[in-house]
Each structure stands twice: as structure tokens, then as C-alpha cells.
Amino acid sequence: ASVAIVIAAALAGCVPAAENGATVPLPSVVPAPTSIESAAGESFSLGAGTPITGDPDAAAALTAVIGARTGLTFTTGSPDARATGTVELTVTAGGAPESYRIEVDDASVVVTGADAAGLFYGVQTLTQLVAPEGDGWIVPAVVIEDAPRFAYRGVMLDVARHFHPVETVKAYIDRAAGLKLNALHLHLSDDQGWRIHLDSRPKLTELASGTAVGGDSGGFYTKADYREIVEYAASRHMIVVPEIDMPGHTHAVGLAYPELAEAPVLNDQMLDQSQGEGIAAPAAGSPYEGTVVGFSSLKIHDEATYDFIADVFGELAAMTPGPYVHLGGDESLGTEPDDFAEFVARASDIIADLGKTPIAWHEAGDSPDLADSTIGQYWGFVTPTDGMDETARGFVENGAQLILSPADAIYLDMKYAADAPLGLTWANGPTSVERAYSWEPADVIPGIEEGDILGVEAPMWAETVRTLHDIDQLAFPRIAAAAEAAWSPPTGASRLRTWESFRKRVGALGPLWTSLGIGFHSSDEIPWA
């Protein structure tokens, strides 16, 4: 009989509670929580009459998702005396930041957050626990205790290669927040377009925002749009990290302010990196619609450049309540190393002087005069090549931390398979779901320990990405692997942190993702429920 139950549990997408053949199935939670145990007793029956009480924001977040999942309409507010059981959502101060506890028995579901974010994450977990049973819906009897491993858990969206409207960004925020990610990094400028209106430099959007890769149309965010994104993110406990990429990736700046731009240069390294795709020679003064990287630069030895970036970062910092401003700094392939080092040092100082913490792609880690607070974002491989680990250690030697975005694991814009219509392949692609999952943050850069890591971020570059459906196809399910690296206990520290456990838990989320309208890639690596 126990074999039958285990098989039934596997079919339902559940994971056995223990490896010794124990028969109590545990529900599937992604990212894996710190601890999850089956509780004694019956599960909780969830019905249209179930009152959802306590914190109104958490109740709204819960009912939106479980309403979509179950088709039921729930009542929020004070408990109804006639109700057979309640869902209680509360904040009780104390405990680690962003942590929560869930206790379910047949009489109640109690979610307690250590703070508002913790309660929000408890609610996200609860949405994954809701399961069909017979004609109705239940929450299995469990006790869960959970807290994040890393403080910074991000996704990046490139809105420069293709522009993505506010509605798409909001939808991506919902998707990311549901996996307990708390930072949205917006790549707001690149060679192909400038995507944010700034009053101090109005020509950027007037003259440099209209086009995109492949002749597609461009676009930009007004200040009101940006505010709307920031507020929406905050309501899902996410910060926005704006990036203006420089000194390279700035061809679009030259369309608006030609006096700031060096003439484009095209060398073999740039052509190599673009793998023969999208090669079009850039020409000063014309919009760039190809996908070659590294050919553009701001003028390093001209004070007008620093007046420009002081204006840009000053205005952006004032619009951004989160602590970080990203200065880019990747792939300045035509810039002399000394010039590059000088430039990123000055750009990081400008951001630090504005009271923000600078973030830079890891190339800036070689600069001797970088602002000490600058966080490095590592985009090398899980096994570092070309000295990228040494460069990344520069930030830690300055006393700051790293964000890990290993490109061969969690670049969400890599193809899943060689014949996939969407995505690129330069980062050892295609990238399977298993490869996206099978890496451990503390093992990537020798000499970098837990405390040196601020967090994990999964970038989505948009050379091939035009729509929300494209984003969904590339991000899901690999975004769940990035979320688990960012949130869950380290590999080896939890029996849930294995590929076998992960693929089953992800498979169990298929119906929830479908009910939320997420157009995930139904990878054959995952046993979809």
C-alpha cells in the first residue's frame, strides 16, 4: 500500500516526506523552504465561504491568486462566526527579516510574517499549497518555517533591445514576486535605444527611443510610467534597480547628444561575440538595430560626459526609492583599460555622492579607484574563465559584495534547445533547466564566501524577446531555479535542494502557473502535473 501511496504522491507532483519510503507526501513549494513538515491531522478545506482575515494587503494578494486558481470568490475581513475554519494572515515582529511561518490544521490556516514582506512570502507559499481534492479544494496539514538565504534576489529585464510596456513589466513583477524575488533591475539604455524620459536631457527620448532590434518599434517610460512601476513593485515587496549602461552600450546617446559619443569602432572581438547574428555595421548618427556588442563609447576625457552622467544619475536617483543605481560597465570592448577604469571610478563616485549604492557589471572590479561601496554583478560562467573571478574579487577586496548572475546557468535569454525559436546561445547555450538549477552560489568564485554574496539575479536580455509570451517562454521554468539559488538553503543543507526534488516540485506548479496566465515552456525535463 505504501508503494501505491508514494506513486500516487509522485503523480500528484508531491515529494515523499523522507527518503526511507515514508508515505506522507509533502506539498511542493518553490523555492524550497527552510523547513516543511507534515502535521498530524486532517487537511483544511477551502471553500467560497472561507473567511480570510488579518492584514488586508496580504488578504488581497492571497485572494487574487487563489481566486484565479480555484475559481472561488473569497470573503475578506473579520471572521464569520458560522465559518468552519479561517485563514489568518498576521505580522508578528521578531524573527529574521522577510521570514514567515505557516501552520495548517483542519480548523485553521495561520500565516505569520516577521514583517510585511515575510507575510507576503508566506502568502506566496500558501498559494502553492492549495490543491484540488474531490470536488473541492484543500490546504494540506503542514508546518513551514522559512526565511531567505540572500537579501538580494533579482531579475533583470532588458527594455532597450526591445521595449516592454508598463503592463508587461507589471506582469513580470507579479511572476517574480510569486517566487519570492525582491529586486527588478531595469536595463534602461543600450545601443539600440534610450527608454526613460529625463527632464534634464529631453533629447534622449525625443531622438533616441523610437527604434529597437530588427527594425521593431521602440518606446520609453515617462516619469509617471516609471513611478507606476516603482509603486507596483513596492506593493509586491520589490525594489527597482535602474541601470544606465556606460561607457559602452551608448550608441543611442550619440543620436541625442552627438558631442558626447566616440565614433563607433568594430573589431574582431565584437564580431566574434555576436556569433554572426545581427551583424550590421553601426554608423554614427543612425539608429542601431543590430545586436553586435561593444562598439560604442562615451568620450572619457571630456568633462561634458561627466556633466551628462551627473544629470542622468541625479534625476534617476531622485525617482528611485530603492538603494541602488546601476552604471553598467560591461563589454566596453573598444575602450582602453585605463580609460575604462578612470571612467567607472568617476561614475561610481557620482552615484555614491547621490546617497545611492552603485552596482556595476564585474568588468569594473579591476578599477583601482572605484567607489568602495560599489556592488559587483558577476556574469561569467559557473566555472569562471578568462580571469573573470579575479576581476570580481576586486569588489570584495574594496569591502563590498557581489551579485551572482552566472551566464551559463541563469541567463534566461539563452535557448533551451538548439532548434528553439527564441533566445541566444553564446553562454555555452543551449541551457537546460537542469543546468540552470545545478550550481551553488558559494562555489562559483574561489575565495568568495557566503557573506561576500549580496544575492543572485537572473537577467533577461531582449535581443530576441518581443512580448510577454516570449518572456514567459524563456523565463519559465528556469526562473524558478534562479529563485531557489537566491532564497533556499545551500545545496547539501536541505534534502529538497536536489534536481530530482526541484523538477517534481516545479512540475506540480504547472496548474497554478496556467491559472495565472503564465505561458511557460513545457520543458520535457519537468514532470508536469
Residue 40 C-beta: closest distance to ligand TNX, Å: 50
Which position among 88, 146, 289, 331 is part of the footprint of ligand TNX (CB under 6 A)?
Answer: 331
The catalytic residue among 88, 243, 289, 331 is 331
- Based on CB atoms, which residue is closest to ligand TNX, 332 or 523? 332
Residue 112, C-alpha cell as written in the block: 505569520
Distance of alpha carbon 457 from alpha carbon 109, whole angstroms: 32
| Residues within window 281-320 making contact with ligand TNX, judged by CB under 6 A | 293
Smallest gap, in angstroms, from Cβ of residue 277 to ligand TNX?
A: 11
Question: Who's near 183: CB < 8 A, 6+ residues apart?
Answer: 152, 153, 154, 155, 238, 239, 240, 241, 322, 324, 455, 457
The helix or strand, by DSSP H or E, that contains position 39, with its residue range, turns out to be none
The footprint of ligand TNX on this chain (CB under 6 A) covers a number of residues equal to 11
**In this chain, which stretch among 75-83, 296-304, 364-372, 405-413 interacts with ligand TNX, using CB under 6 A?**
405-413
**Can you read off the three cell numbers belonging to residue 361?**
557589471
Look up residue 287 and give its three cell numbers: 539608429
Query: Binder to ligand TNX among 221, 361, 381, 528 (CB under 6 A)?
Result: 361
Contact pattern for ligand TNX over residues 456 through 475, marking x by CB under 6 A: -----x-x------------
Q: Is 424 one of the binding residues for ligand TNX (CB under 6 A)?
A: yes
CA–CA gap between residue 251 and residue 253 (Å, rounded): 5
CB of 58 to ligand TNX, least distance (A): 36
CB 76 within 8 A of CB 39: no
Shortest Cβ 194–ligand TNX spacing (Å) = 15
C-alpha–C-alpha distance, residues 477 and 519, integer Å: 10
Nearer to ligand TNX, 33 or 459 (CB): 459
Q: Concatenated DSSP letters for 430-451? A: S--HHHHHS--GGGSSTT--GG
Q: Confirm whether 331 is a catalytic residue.
A: yes
Distance from CA of residue 486 to its chain's centroid?
10
CB 328, min distance to ligand TNX, A: 8
- Beta strand spans in 116-261 (E): 131-133, 136-139, 142-146, 152-158, 183-187, 189-190, 193-194, 239-246
Of 105 and 330, nearer to ligand TNX (C-beta) is: 330
Of 55, 98, 115, 413, the one binding ligand TNX (CB under 6 A) is: 413
For residue 378, state whether it binds ligand TNX (rule: CB under 6 A): no
Cis-peptide, bond into residue 247, ω within 30° of zero: yes
262 binds ligand TNX (CB under 6 A): no
Which range, of 178-186, 213-221, 407-415, 497-505, touches ligand TNX by CB under 6 A?
407-415
Cell of 69: 486558481
Residue choice 163, 232, 343, 379 for contact with ligand TNX (CB under 6 A): 379
Stretch that binds ligand TNX, among 203-211, 352-360, 406-414, 507-515 (CB under 6 A): 406-414
Q: How far is the CB of 293 from ligand TNX (least distance, A)?
A: 5
Could you tell me the smallest distance in angstroms from the CB atom of residue 465 to ligand TNX? 10
* Residue number with CB closer to ligand TNX (176 or 333): 333
Cell 531622485 sits at which residue? 318
Shorter beta-carbon distance to ligand TNX: residue 59 or 208? 208
One of 324, 411, 439, 476 touching ligand TNX (CB under 6 A): 411
Is residue 170 classed exposed, middle or buried when 0-12, 13-18 and 19+ CB atoms within 10 A define those classes? middle
- For residues 361 and 395, which CB has a smaller minimum distance to ligand TNX in the complex? 361
Cβ contact 360:374 at 8 Å: yes
Give the one residue of 105, 330, 457, 484 binding ligand TNX; rule: CB under 6 A. Answer: 330
CA distances from 97 to 26, 33, 93, 474, 494 (A): 26, 15, 9, 31, 21
Distance (Å, whole) CA 375 – CA 194:
24
| Strand 108-113, strand 86-91: pairing | parallel
Please identify, using beta-carbon distances, which residue of 406 and 507 lies nearer to ligand TNX.
406
If the CB atoms of residues 44 and 379 are measured against ligand TNX, the closer one turns out to be: 379
Of 474, 483, 521, the C-alpha closest to 502 is 483
Q: What minimum distance in Å lies between the beta carbon of 317 and ligand TNX?
A: 22
Point out the residues that are catalytic. Answer: 331
Can you give the binding site for ligand TNX, defined by CB under 6 A? 293, 330-331, 361, 379, 407, 411, 413, 424, 461, 463
